[in-house]
Structure formats: structure tokens, C-alpha cells
Amino acid sequence: MDYRPRDIEKKWQKYWEQEEVYKVSNDSDRPKFYVLDMFPYPSGAGLHVGHPLGYIASDIFARYKRLKGFNVLHPMGYDAFGLPAEQYAIQMGVHPAKSTSENIARYRSQLDNLGFSFDWSREVNTSNPAYYKWTQWIFLKLFEHWYDAEQQKARPISELLAHLEAKGTDALPAACSEQMDFSAADWQAKSAKAKDEVLMNYRLAYKKQTFVNWCEALGTVLANDEVKDGLSERGGHPVERRPMLQWSLRITAYAERLLNDLDELEWSDAMKKMQANWIGRSTGAQLFFDLDGHDEKIEIFTTRPDTIFGATFMVLAPEHDLVAQIKTPEQSAAIADYLDYVNTRSERDRMSDVKTVTGAFTGAHAINPFNGEKVPVWISEYVLKDYGTGAIMAVPADDERDRRFAEKFDLPIIDIIDKSAHPGATIEDKVGTMINSDFLNGMEVKEAISATIAAMQEKGIGREKVNYKLRDAIYSRQRYWGEPFPVIYDKEGIAHPLKEEDLPLELPELDDFKPASGGQSPLARKTDWVERADGFFHETDTMPGFAGSSWYFLRYMDANNSDAFVSKQAVDYWRDVDLYVGGTEHAVGHLMYARVWHKLLYDLGYLPTNEPFRKLINQGMIQGVIEYICLLKEKTDGKNHFICADFAEKRPESEYARLPVYVDYVSDYGTEKSHLSAEGIRQFIEWRPEYKDAIFEGCGGTYRDGKLESEGSPEDFRFYTISEVGKMSKRYFNVINPDDVVERYGSDCFRLYEMFLGPIEQAKPWDTKGIDGVSRFLRKFWSLFFNDKGEFFCSEEPATKAELKILHKTIKKVCDDIERFSFNTCVSAFMTATNELLKLKCNKKEILEPLVTLIAPFAPYMSEDLWHKLGHANSVHLDTYPELIEEHLKEDAFTYPIAINGKTRSKMDFPADLSKEELEKQALALEGIQKWLEGKTVRKVIVVPKRMINIVVG
RNA sequence: GCGGGUGUGGUGAAAUUGGUAGACACGCUAGACUUAGGAUCUAGUGCCGCGAGGCGUGGGGGUUCGAGUCCCUCCACCCGCACCA
């Protein structure tokens, strides 16, 4: 009987569903194990072969753990709210609810096609009111808590109120947006509106006027991690900085814990580093400069307080609050011009050009608190509004940027550090001896830093401070497809939380859900919803995409609970995610937010664990081959003439297993369909210098079905293709749908092949050629169970020593390799075992039956079929893992490599238990070795039992 | 610029503690069975050399009886961050 994957896979898929083989109970004596995949957002494109890579790996691990006796939670769901889903809906001109549910259905069928062992009874959908009720509920917890930096935990707003009522801001250790200072009497005298504003300064979810990333094309603001290189991560649209009244999450309050707790996680160093860099902790000093003729002070942050005597000017960010107040009339025009210039520059301009030095003088002067010197206050783009305090003391002698600025605007430079004792030290290195620095003179830099901080504290002009690069997360989106905020406003504009029993606040139906321009949310158009019967108003912004994904891993533990986001019993049993598998693209976004939400819920006593994801594995991207095509024509002048055309658009749908073709010149962005522009040619030659002598001709011809119609005949040309490895994307015509592969080879083969491709964490291109090898292997494996006539046949005969050795060797190898997530070598081990057993013509049940269980996590369908053919009535996936018996691994003999001076010259079998002395004696006596020893002295013989023998001669 | 990673046959890759480099596959070559099939089987396949042998894990140097693995240095590519005070 031939192996027919399509028939058996359909059959067992049904069986698993009917028998609820993968259903997990929260009530079990077995130890728990939680294997989680990053859930997908159901985009319209469906899954391509890259998506399942991580799912397959985690599924293998989950199945393995199950066979090893664990109660395994392995769920799946959909991140259905958010920008990608909504953008797709807009493009297709359908309601996002409709397109989302269609896309989910499509994803589900694609996932089912791959034989995953998900417990679908726990499915989560972030756009489902029963789910987002709890997203809103957690948001209210954020709203109703503040962060006590002393106790390092979140505390209820009621306790903050009590503190303010009694002591004002005195000794208030609260994380806040800006330092506030008032007495209890001041507090009591405040209006309701003013009190609300004060509380917003402390709430973990707060509304505030801030500079945000506004994306006009998407019609919404974006969080920092949603902006890459000054463009929106989704869609690549330009982003600008703009002040707006927005909801934010005070994730900065958790910065220290987010950083410290990384230590206990089993994440890759790269991943931990990325988080640590994003948090960006640096220690230094906060200090105040008085302003000449103003009451205000300039607050700055510096990591180099020791350089204060070299501070010859100050620089504020152009958006700094003080700029308007301190600019002198004479400088007003210059400042206005500069601000105009800054406004014309997008984030992208600003980032791509950091060399050009620009700035303007405010006319104001600050006073150096240490020596009373007046120094000019400038504004410049190079000082960022949202790092530190948005203001710096500039020390041109010891900072590259300050130096460039001073040189350009002819500002004084005072040398303050003598680095002559440190040849090769750069300007950034914190070494050298202080000079021209009053009481610091003669000190080493390190010493000077602490001396300056001590002096500052004594004078009351500053203090030691830790600064973080991490910024609070913008939490409002001016979009339709997201969770509505469970917040209503009264006539004064004071925000009130909805009552828990009024949750969920459902997203109202909206016919026109397209984003509005100018920062308005589509929900604002539904005035009958915005204005409530009780006179309050709904918030019209919605929550961002990361809201729902920040806690979904908890919901799976108790997915259908309508009384709590998760029950105490469920979370006490499942605790945290033991293995989380997903892409590195979520390094700083999702993973950071999820950790914060988890820590908040932990602080509030809802969770027993401090961190959500113990171990993290990042699967590498599966790439596609991007092919560029050129038509090559040789002319009589002996040079190559290229004609390049936009071929991809006109070619018929690609046939499976043929490389798709994308025709373009190389450009940084890949998208332009540049024909023969001078720039295109220049880039092409830069990319492929070997063609620098070629002649390029313009191409106005049209192509249909690969044939040139209007210019010349196809015979005149040769196709010339060049390819590179890159993203798998519709844009490059190189997307491969797993369904097509499964249709042809079967799902087991697809799973095995994706694993066989290489190490899970590595990026690798999809190459269809290799899959035949895996397919061949599955057929060989299958054939072990059948006799010459094609009948299922397994012998009851006892296995030989050699056969048992093959089996147990494989058990050991596969076990070890799964534990270290080396799935590619597992597949090799199965292949080796199969080849060896075929050679021995082994068809013994004693060997083959455990092998079926062993391969079950990898090839769930085939193993299930063989398992039932072997006479079992239950599922192989509920079996127990075959036990390793070390006894069978014992070798009687070992083939020793015998090396002369480290070069292997001969090999010889010796009994495994032969003594070192005897091994040495016999090795030296070997004929094949003797000839190497002639005329030489044996100086030393190294014998490592069961490894090798090395003879050192001289 | 900073941080992290990778570099091994024609290709994807293996080598888990310093101990037979290239397992397992793809591809290729030859053959068998058959005779248009994208089927199966057998043998071969790192490079140079007829051979003995030599050379080989990005380059150079070092430690060691022994280095893909450890140390120093240089190069290339990939990823993340980036005017971070």
C-alpha cells in the first residue's frame, strides 16, 4: 500500500476533532507545561510558508512534552483588532468585522491543514466583546493605579488621594509625567478639573498633551515602536511629531523592573539586549541652571556632570516649553525662522541627515551654577524634546556634537580634560585628568563625576539621577477598529471610568469607518453614540493594536470565563508561559507591553508570577528568492545591451514550484518600477559592477505572456535573470502558500521539511528543491511497515542487538535534540534510522512501534495511521514516549582514529574496554602506522578512550 | 557610531565538553530496471594530484599532543538601535 498523505490526513484530522484529542483540562495531576505561539493578526493575504515555521516547532515541542507526561497548554487565537486588519478592510471596501471574520476562517483552515495540536476550545479573538471586556477592565486598572517608586509597585489612586489630601506632594514617591510641588492646602483648594489634571500626572494610564508620532496617511498617532526610520511600520508612511491630547501608558514607571527582571529570563542575549537598549538606562545628574532675567530655570540631564566648567552654552530642543518665553525681541525673527525650518523637516529628514549643524540663538543667557558665568542659550534639532529633559549643557571640548555646534556658530571652547595620559582615547571615553575646572582640577574623570554630584547636592542645585530612553507608550488611536475606551467625560472634560458591570463597552456599528483627517476619530462622527443619555460623553479614540495582545496569554488559561479575565485557580495552575515562540519583530513592542501588563496584574495580586514568558525562542524568517529579469541582446559591437522591463505584472499566474519573477532595477526600496532612468542604471551598475561596460537601452515595449509584442521579436533576446534572497512578499511575486505544498506532499512532509531546512532561529530561503528528499524519506519510513506485496506487516520476532541499538540511538538523539530545539537534526536522525533499518530489512514490531511514537510529534498524521494499523484503538498522541534503555547503546568495539602528530593516518577497531596501555601498544604495532614511524622517535602517545589515539613523533 | 549575530563542499547544513570536518539531504555523474516518469534501486561525489600524497571550516597570528570549536587581530555580510546629552 502506497503512502497517500491526502487520504490519511483528512481521516485523522476528523478523528482528532471528534475525539477531542487535544482538549486540555485545567484539572490534572500531571505537571503543567505551557507552549505558546505569538498569535497572528489575520491579514487578507493568508499564511505563507514562513508563518508556520514557529508554529511547527512549538507544536512538535508541545506534542513531545505531552508524550513525556505533561499536561500541555497549547492554544491559538487571533490578534484581530488593529491597523493591519482595518487597512485591509478599507482596501477591500468591506467592514472590518466582516473581513476579519473571513480572514480568520481562512487562517483556521490553513492552520488545520498543518496538523497542529491546538486546543481550539480556548480560542481567543481580541475583537470579540467577551474578550475585550477584559482588555477594557485591565485598562481601568491602569487608570485607577499609580506607581510607587519606593515600594516598586502599583498602588490604588485612592491611596494617592489620601496622601495628597494629607501631605500634598511632600514625600510622594510617585512616578509622574512632571515633577509637581504643592501642599495639602493647595490640593484641597484645587477645582475638580485641576485635581483631575494632577491625577493624570500620576495615573498609569493617563491623558495628556504630548508630542506624538502623527501619521497623516493612516490618520492616527503611533507608538514609538510602531515607527521605523521615521516611517510607519505598517505601510511605510511618513510620520511627523505633533503635540496632541492623547492617552498614554506610564510604562516608564516599570523601566527599572523591566530591565532587572531580564536577568531571570531564558531569552537570547540579542533579545535581552534589544530590550535593554530600548529601555536605555543611563546614570548621571539632573541639575538646574538659572536664567538671567527670568524666574524659570533650565533643567538638564547629563551623564558627565564633571564637565560643567567646560559648559560654554546651553541648547534646548526646538519644541522646548521655555523657548517662547525666553527668546529676546531681537532674536524672535531668527527663532521663528528656525522653527519654520524645523517644521518643514519630517522625522525621516531629521534622521537621514544628522551631520548638518543647524540652530538659532534665543538671546537669553543661563548662569552656570558653579562659576556664575553667563552662557548663551541656543535651540537646535540635535537636542531631542523627549530624551532627558529636552535641554543640555553643551561642553564642546568633550562632546563631538557640541564641538561641531560651537565651531559652526563660533562659540567658545574650554578644554577641561587632559587625556594625554591616555593615548588613543576618544572624546567619548570617560578617562583623563580634569583641568580648568576649579575644585575638580587634578581629579580623574570618575572621581570628578562623584565629586560634582556631591557638590551639586550640597548646593541644592541638582542631584544624581537615572534617566531612561524608554518613553511612555501612546495609547490612543484615531481609528475605528479597536477597543473603545471604557471612559466617559463630564461637561468639564473630567474623565470617569465606566463601572465594571457596564463592561464591555461595545464598539458601535459604523457604516463609514474610514479614518478622518486632522486627528479626529471616526467614532466622533457617531454623535448619537458620543453623547450619552446621562449627559456624559464617550471617548472617541480607540485602543492600539497592542492592547489585546498584551494579556492574551493569560486568557488562554481560562478562555471562557465570564466572571474574571482569568480565574485564580487557572492562573495558579498554569502560572506562566514555559515556552514562547515568535519572531524578533516583537522584541520591543509586544514583549515590552505584555511584561508591563503582567507586572501590573502581579502587583495587584491577580497573578502569582512576575514575568509572563520564561523561555523565548525566535524563529528565523523564511525568505523568498527575489528574481530580477533582464532581456539581454548582443549587438554587433560585442557589448551586452540590456533591456529591462516590468515583466512581473504581465506574466501569467505563477505555477507552483517555479520561481516567480520580479523585474526591476535595484533600488533601495525595491518598490519603484523604474524603467531605464539614469538613476536606475547607476544603481544597477553599483549593484553588479561586472556590467559596467554594458549598454542599456530604453524599453517602451509591451510584454504579454512573456513575449515582447511591440518591439523586436523574442528571438532577438536572451533572458538574463539575477536573483537575491529577501523577504517573502506579494510585492516580489515570491509568496508560497503552504496549502499548495500540503496539497502536493502532505502536511507531515511540509512540517518535516520546514524543520529540516536548518536551525529554527536562523533566517533561510525557501527552496522547493529539497522537499523531495523529505518526501522520499516519509515513503521509505512507511515502507518499513509493509511487505513486498504491499500488505501491512510487522513481525513479532524479537529484535536483534543491532536493531535495538538503532532504535535507542535514535531515541536518545531525538530526545536530546528536541530539548535543545534542534529540530533539523532530529529529522536527520529519523532518516538515518530509516536507512539503517531498511538495510537490515527490519520489520519487527518491537522496533517499529516505538519509532512511530518517536516520530509522532513531527509527523502526526502518518504516525496516527500506522499506530492504528498496529492495532491500537487510542491516539498515538496520547501514548507515552518510548523509554531509552542505555544498555542497548553499549558498544563492544570502537573504531579508533590513529593520528601521527594530529593527522589521522589510520583507523582500527579495538574492544571498547581495552586499557590505555594496551591500546597504545597495539596501535604502535600496526603495519599502517609503522611506516610513519620509520626513522622517527616516538615522543609521546596520547590515548583518549573511545575518542582517538595520537602519536607524537619528532 | 553603538550593540548583537553569522561566515564550513556546487547548495541547505551537521560536528552537544577542544578529539575521525562535511552526518542528513539537495544537486550532479555513471549504471540498473524500464523505456518518456517529476518513479525506484546501486555506486560515486570537499579541492588538487595518475599515484603516493598534499591542501582544506572568511584572512593572518597564537595556545595545545590535537582547534570549525579557545585567545588576539583583520575582513565580509546580516539584524537591531542611532544627534540618547
Are A316 and A324 spatial neighbours (Cβ–Cβ below 8 Å)? no
Residue A392 beta carbon within 7 A of nucleic strand B:
yes
Residue A427 beta carbon within 7 A of nucleic strand B:
no
Helix locations, A191-328, DSSP H: 192-200, 255-260, 269-279, 322-326
Residue A301 beta carbon within 7 A of nucleic strand B:
yes
Which nucleotides on chain B have any atom < 7 A from a protein Cβ? 3-5, 11-16, 19-21, 23-27, 38-41, 54, 65-67, 78-85
Dist. CA A546–CA A79, nearest whole Å: 9
A380 CB-near residues (< 8 Å, 6+ apart): A315, A317, A318, A357, A358, A359, A360, A405
Whole-number Cα distances in Å, A682 to A643, A686, A696: 14, 6, 11
Is A674 a residue whose pLDDT tops 80? no
Give the cell for residue A696. 542599456
Q: What pTM was computed for the model?
A: 0.89
**SS3 assignment, position A935:** coil
Is A690 a residue whose pLDDT tops 70? no
Residue A588 beta carbon within 7 A of nucleic strand B:
yes
Closest CA to A312 of A240, A368, A229: A368
For A118, other C-beta atoms within 10 Å of its C-beta total 22
Q: What is the mean pLDDT of residues A784-801?
A: 88
Residue A277 beta carbon within 7 A of nucleic strand B:
yes
pLDDT of residue A666: 28
Task: Kindly report which amino acid residue has its CA closest to the C1' atom of nucleotide B24.
Answer: A828
Residue A939 beta carbon within 7 A of nucleic strand B:
no
CA–C1' A622–B8 (A)? 22
Name the residues in A546-585 having a C-beta closer than 7 Å to nucleic acid strand B. Answer: 584
Are A266 and A451 spatial neighbours (Cβ–Cβ below 8 Å)? no
Amino acid at A126: T
Q: What is the mean pLDDT of residues A770-798?
A: 90
Between A412-426, A428-442, A575-589, the lowest mean confidence (pLDDT) is in A412-426
Whole-number Cα distances in Å, A559 to A25, A121, A490, A553: 12, 8, 35, 10
Give the cell for residue A106. 481562512
A42 CB-near residues (< 8 Å, 6+ apart): A78, A79, A80, A85, A100, A103, A104, A106, A107
Q: What is the mean pLDDT of residues A176-197?
A: 94
pLDDT of residue A947: 85
Dist. CA A312–CA A300, nearest whole Å: 14
pLDDT of residue A671: 25
A904 CB-near residues (< 8 Å, 6+ apart): A897, A898, A948
Dist. CA A125–CA A132, nearest whole Å: 9
Name the residues in A9-68 having a C-beta closer than 7 Å to nucleic acid strand B. Answer: none
Residue A273 beta carbon within 7 A of nucleic strand B:
yes
Letter string b/e over residues A249-268, b meaning 16 or more CB atoms within 10 A of that residue's CB: bbbbbbbebbbeebeebebe
Condensed to tens digits (0 to 9), the pLDDT of residues A261-319 reads 998 899 988 899 899 999 999 999 999 999 999 999 999 999 999 999 999 999 999 99
Closest CA to A722 of A613, A644, A658, A837: A644
CA–C1' A454–B85 (A)? 20
Is A880 a residue whose pLDDT tops 90? yes
A399 CA: nearest nucleotide by C1': B85
CA–C1' A736–B41 (A)? 33
Between A676 and A535, the more confident residue is A535
Amino acid at A425: A
For the stretch A216-221, contacts whose Cβ atoms lie closer than 8 Å and that sit 24 or more positions apart, written own/partner, are A216/A240, A216/A517, A218/A83, A218/A87, A218/A479, A218/A515, A219/A478, A219/A479, A219/A514, A219/A515, A219/A516, A219/A517, A220/A83, A220/A477, A220/A478, A220/A479, A220/A515, A221/A246, A221/A474, A221/A476, A221/A477, A221/A478, A221/A519
Angle at A462 between CA A303 and CA A290, to 5 degrees: 105
Mean pLDDT for chain A overall:
86
Condensed to tens digits (0 to 9), the pLDDT of residues A543-580 reads 999 999 999 999 999 999 999 999 999 999 999 999 99
Q: What is the mean pLDDT of residues A173-186?
A: 92
Name the residues in A212-271 having a C-beta closer than 7 Å to nucleic acid strand B. Answer: 228-229, 269-270
Q: What is the mean pLDDT of residues A674-678?
A: 38
Is A65 a residue whose pLDDT tops 80? yes
Whole-number Cα distances in Å, A94 to A46, A88, A104, A521, A523: 17, 9, 15, 19, 17
A751 CB-near residues (< 8 Å, 6+ apart): A56, A59, A60, A114, A115, A858, A859, A860
Residue A466 beta carbon within 7 A of nucleic strand B:
no
